[in-house]
Amino acid sequence: MARKADSTEKGRITKPQYYLNIAKEVARRSTCLRRHYGAVIVNNDQIVSTGYAGAPRRTVNCTEIGTCVRIKLGVPKGEHYEWCRAVHAEQNAIIHAARFDMMGAALYLVGVSPETGEVIEGAEPCRICKRMIINAGIEKVFIETAPGRYQTQLVEDWIKRNLKELRMVRGRWLPVMPKGY
């Protein structure tokens, strides 16, 4: 559900916009050439962890190499993440936090285009990140959709829909095949 991040008090931004602004700043550390993502995990109005998209610690990153295999090969969004050097922002935020601190938490996610600096419309966690968010015990994901606008996704809804990876056919669960197969 898309929402406008209205001020609760004159001149004061809402809590979701506050944390989304922090996630946008975290995204500025990204070393991915394709997308700059920043994530902030918040529980009980306290920041538990942050993460940005980048190569594993102590390894060469794409900004140092100056190229991205997925860009070179024209790989569509959501496909062949195994060819990517980056650990996703959500993954890094989860890795750096204790599960106990994430139970019932919210994750704030912002994607920014490296070329324009504009917020990426339709940004959301990939399938792997959604699985990790579920297992971390996070309850909500706030995603900035445009300046001053965000949507809230309830993790419970992902679970109820089996991440849209399965469908019921004649009483049996069958996998939904990715596009192009």
Catalytic residues: 90
Question: How far apart are alpha carbons 19 and 42 in whole angstroms?
Answer: 8
Give the total residue count for the chain. 181
Q: Hey, what's the torsion of the CAs at 60, 64, 67, 70, to 10 degrees?
A: 40
* Residue 147: C-alpha distances to residues 13, 41, 68, 140 (Å): 12, 20, 27, 20
How many angstroms from the chain centroid is the CA of residue 111?
7
* Residue 170: C-alpha distances to residues 3, 43, 160, 178 (Å): 38, 41, 19, 21
Tokens representing residue 65 in the block: 């190499």
Taking Cα atoms as reference points, which of 97, 73, 150, 98 lies closest to residue 119?
Answer: 150
Q: What is the DSSP letter of 87?
A: B
